[in-house]
Chains A and B, each alone.
Chain A
Amino acid sequence: MPVNTGSLKAQRQPRESLGVWLGRYYLIISLVLLVLISSILSPRFLSQENLMNIAIQNSAVAIVSFGMLYVILTGGIDLSVGSVVALAACFTAGFLEAGWSIPLTILAVLALMLIPGAISGGLVAIGKMEPFIASLAMMTIVRGAAYMYQVGSVRVIFNNAFINGFTGNLGPIPVPVLIMALAAVVLHVVLKYTTFGRKLYAIGGNRDAARLVGISLRKNLFAVYMLSSVLSGLVGILMAARLRVGTALVGQGMELDAIAAVVIGGASFAGGRGTILNTLIGAFIIGIIGNMMNLMGIAAYPQMVIKGVIIILAVLARRG
C-alpha cells in the first residue's frame, strides 16, 4: 500500500484542523504572504503600474502553463511550447508584413500551430513515444523552423491596429490579461464540467484502468498536445504584439517556467492531479518573485539561481 506521508502526519496529531486548513489553502496563503513581503521590501511593488506590469507579463506564461497542465494531467509533458511561441510570433510578423488582415493572420497562425501539436500528439498517442523525448525533439525542430522562417533578420511589425489591439486596454483591463482570464475560465470549466476533462483525470490517474473502461488514449492524448500547441500559438501572437517584432528568440525557456507554474500549483507529475486555478496561482508566484527581484535590482544570473531554489523549496514545502 502506498503510504501517503501527508495524511500520516495529520494522523499523528489529533489537532489536525490547522494542518488540514494549511494544506488546502497553502497556495493562496503563499501568494498572499509573497505579496505582503514584496510590498514591505519595495514600496513600488503595490503601485498600479507595477501590478499591471506583473499581470501583463505573466499572462503569457500563465496561458502556456494552462496547456502544460492539460498535458501533465495525462502524465505527459510538452517541452516544445517555448519554440511554438517563437514560431507563432515569427509567422504573425511575417503574415502581417505580407499584408494579411489581422483576423486572417490570427486564424492562420493558430491553425498552423495545430501542426506541431499534432506531430507531438501523434508521436505520443500513436507512436507510443515517451512524451519527454517526442516534445524535446519538437522543441528543437520548431525552434529551428522559426529561425529558418525568420531568415536571419527580425521582422518588425508596423501594423499599429494589431499592436494596439493586443497591447491596449479593454475598459480598465489590459487585453492580454483579459485573454488570460478568458482562457483560464474556459479551460477550468472544460476540466471540471466536461467528459473530456473527466477523461484526462482518468487517463492520468490510471492509464490501464482508463483503457479498460473504454477511454480512448489515442484521441485524448492527441487532443491535449494540440491544445497545448494552440495555446502556445496564441501566446506567440501576444508576444509579437508586445515586442512589435517576430523573432525566433522569443519564448526561450518558457517551457521551464510553464512546468514550474504547474508544479508549484500542486499538480502531480505522474498525472491525474492539478487544477487551472492552482496553476494560475503558481504562474503568478513565479512572476511576482521575478518582479520583486527586478525591483530590488538583483542581476539576471542570480535571479535564475534564486528561481530554481524557489521551485525546489515550493515542492519540498508542499510535501512536508
Chain B
Amino acid sequence: MAVLLEVNGVTKQFVGTRALDSVSLDVQSGEVHGLVGENGAGKSTLIKILSGAYTPDAGTIRFEGRAVQGWSPNQAREAGVVTIYQEFSLVPELSVAENIFLGRLPSAGVRGTVSYRKLNQAAREILGQLGLEIDPTVPVKQLGVAARQMVEIARAWSIRSKLVILDEPTAVLGLDDIARLHDLIRQLKQEGVGIIYVSHRLGEVVDLCDRVTVLKDGRLSGHLRREEFSPEKIVQLMIGRPVRDLKLGGHCTSRLVLQVEGLTALPKVAGVSFALHEGEILGIAGLVGSGRSEMARALFGIDPRQAGRILLDGQPVQVRSPQEAIHRGIGFLPEDRRQQALFLELPVRANITVGDLGRVSRLGWITSADRQVAADYAQQVRVKMPSLESPVAILSGGNQQKVVLARWLATRCRILVFDEPTRGVDVGSKEEIYRLIDDYVKQGGSTIVISSELPELLAISDRILVMARGRINGEFSREEASEAALMNKMVS
C-alpha cells in the first residue's frame, strides 16, 4: 500500500480560536481511515482544508508525494480528492445518469449535444460495477436519502477518485442502508481508493476502519490501529475521560396522558395506536422509511391525516395544525434542526422565545420578559454561547439542539416529541441532552423519542415501540428490550 495523503503539522486559525493546531495524519491507498472527535474538535476544518475550501496557516500536505497545501477545490477534485458532505451536491431535477456525469456528459457527435443512449449506458456500467440497483434514468429527487448518497459515491467512483472523504455519511441512513454503504466502501477500498470516514457512530468506525485518528479541541488526541481500538478507547480519547454507563428514565406513572388510535397518514403511516403515560420516555425504533418520522409529523398536525383519533387526558382533541398541537401542550423537535427548527440568522434569544411569543409580550408588544425568559431557559439547559444575542448559526450542533429544547421548555408543554434528539450532536452533549430529557419527565412531562440509535433508545426509554411499514410491529418494556430483539422487529 502506498501512502496517498500525508498531513503534517497543519494549523488553521480563525478569529479568536485555533481550529486546528498542528495536526498530522496519513492515509494509504486502500485504507479506510476513521476521523472522529466531538463537534468543534476540528474535523470539519480538516476536511475543508483537504478539499481545498480552506487554506492552512501552517503545515504541509502532500498528496501522492506532491506538496498541495493551499490548493483550490477544483485542483483537489482534479487530483482525485472528492468530498461527500452531509448536504448532497446533486441536482434534484436531473436524472441519476446526468448527475453522475454532470459536467462531462457524452456528446452525440456534434459539440454541445448529449447522447442519452451513451450517457445511460455509461451510468448503468458505473452503477453495475458498484453493484447498485438504481435506474439511471430516474430524477434524483425521486430517490431516498440513501440512494442519493449511493449516487454521490458512484459519481466519485466514475471520476476515478483516489481519496474519498465521507462526512457523517450514515447520519441520515437507516440500518440496512448503512450496511449497503459499508459494502460499497469496502469495495472502493478493494480497488485501492483511500477513504476518510468521519462519523459520530463509533460502532461503525470500529467495524469499518483500518485506522482511526481522534481529534480533540483542534489537536491530535491519538492515532489508533485496528488491533488497538474499541469504542470505549476512542471515546476516552475524544473526551479525555471514560464514559459512565448511563441509565435514565424510570419516572413513568400509570396516568395516561396521550392516546393515539389508528393514526393514518398515507402512504407512510397506516394505523398506529399507542398510549403515553405521565413521566414516561417512550422510545420509537424503526428503519428509515418505517414511518416513524411521518407518524410524529402527523401527530403534530404537520401532515394531513386520513384517519385516527388523538385523546389527551382521555378526551378526544383536534390536532390539525402545529398551532393546535402547541395549543394542546405538545412540542416537536424535528430531526433536521437547521431546516425545520432553527432561525439561523436570529439570535439565541429570539430562537428560544419564538415558541411562545405570548409569554414574552403584552398586547403584541415584546417586553423585557423576552430577555429574561430566554436567559432563564438557556441557563436551564446550559447552552454554551458567547451571548444571548449571538446568531444561533454559530453554535455547535449540541448547543443548537439545546436551544430548540429550551424553546419548547419555555412553552411549558406537557408532551415533547423528539425526532433523532442527538443527531449531529457530539458525545459530550449527547449525555447532557439525555439528562435534560430525564429532568423534563421527572417534572411530570411525557416524551416520545424517535431514534435510529438503538443504544440511545435502550439507555433512556421506559418502553420501546418498534415501527415497520407504517405500523407498530412490536412493544418492549425496558427489561425485555435488547438490540437484537428490536432489530428483529424492525426488519420483519
Contacts and interface: CB of A to CB of B under 8 A. Distances in A.
Interface of A: 1, 3, 10-11, 14, 16, 193-196, 198-199, 201-202, 205-206, 208-216, 272-273
Contact of B87 (A1, A212, A213): A1
Contacts of A16: 15
A196 B365 CA distance: 9
B89 interface: no
A206 to B, nearest CB: 5
A209 B364 CA distance: 21
Nearest to A199: B357
A188 to B, nearest CB: 14
B15 A198 contact: no
Given A10-B15, A194-B364, A212-B322, A206 B357 contact: no
Nearest to B407: A213
A198 B354 contact: yes
Interface string B340-358: 1111111000100011011
Contacts of B473: none
Interface residues on B, range: 35 or more
A209 B341 contact: yes
Given A3-B53, A198-B357, A206 B364 contact: no
A205 B366 contact: no
A212 B350 contact: no
A14 B15 contact: yes
A74 to B, nearest CB: 13
A212 B407 CA distance: 12
17 contacts: A1-B44, A1-B85, A3-B53, A16-B15, A194-B361, A195-B358, A195-B364, A196-B364, A202-B343, A206-B339, A206-B344, A209-B339, A209-B340, A209-B341, A212-B300, A213-B355, A214-B323
Nearest to B366: A193
Contact of B343 (A3, A11, A195, A201): A201
A205 B302 contact: no
A205 B343 contact: yes
Contacts of A212: 300, 302, 322, 332, 334, 340-341
A208 B357 CA distance: 17
Contact of B323 (A193, A195, A216): A216
Nearest to B19: A11
Contacts of A205: 343-346
Contact of A206 (B300, B302, B327, B343): B343
Contacts of A199: 357
B326 A208 contact: no
Contact of A214 (B53, B322, B334, B345): B322
A8 to B, nearest CB: 8
Nearest to A192: B366
A135 B15 CA distance: 44
A307 B334 CA distance: 45
A266 to B, nearest CB: 12
Given A3-B53, A11-B14, A212-B322, A195 B345 contact: no
Given A205-B344, A209-B342, A272-B345, A198 B364 contact: no
A41 to B, nearest CB: 38
Contacts of B365: 193-195
A84 B251 CA distance: 62
Interface string B264-302: 000000000000000000000000000000000000101
Contacts of A195: 357-358, 361, 364-366
A1 B337 CA distance: 13
B295 to A, nearest CB: 16
B15 A11 contact: yes
B356 to A, nearest CB: 9
Contacts of A211: 302, 322
A272 B214 CA distance: 38
A261 B458 CA distance: 56
A188 B332 CA distance: 32
A16 B14 CA distance: 11
Contacts of B366: 193-195, 198
B44 A214 contact: no
A10 to B, nearest CB: 6
Chain B CB within 10 Å — which of A11, A199, A215, A272 has the most? A11
Nearest to A196: B364
Contacts of A194: 361, 364-366
Contacts of B340: 206, 208-209, 212
Nearest to B327: A214
A304 B14 CA distance: 43
Given A212-B302, A273-B345, A201 B87 contact: no
B343 A209 contact: yes
Nearest to A271: B345
A16 B13 CA distance: 13
Interface in B7-38: 13-15
Chain B CB within 10 Å — which of A16, A201, A212, A273 has the most? A212
Contacts of B85: 1
A273 B342 CA distance: 15
A170 to B, nearest CB: 28
B361 A272 contact: no
A201 B13 CA distance: 33
B326 to A, nearest CB: 4
Contacts of B343: 201-202, 205-206, 209-210, 272
A205 B85 CA distance: 23
A199 B343 CA distance: 11
A202 B354 contact: yes
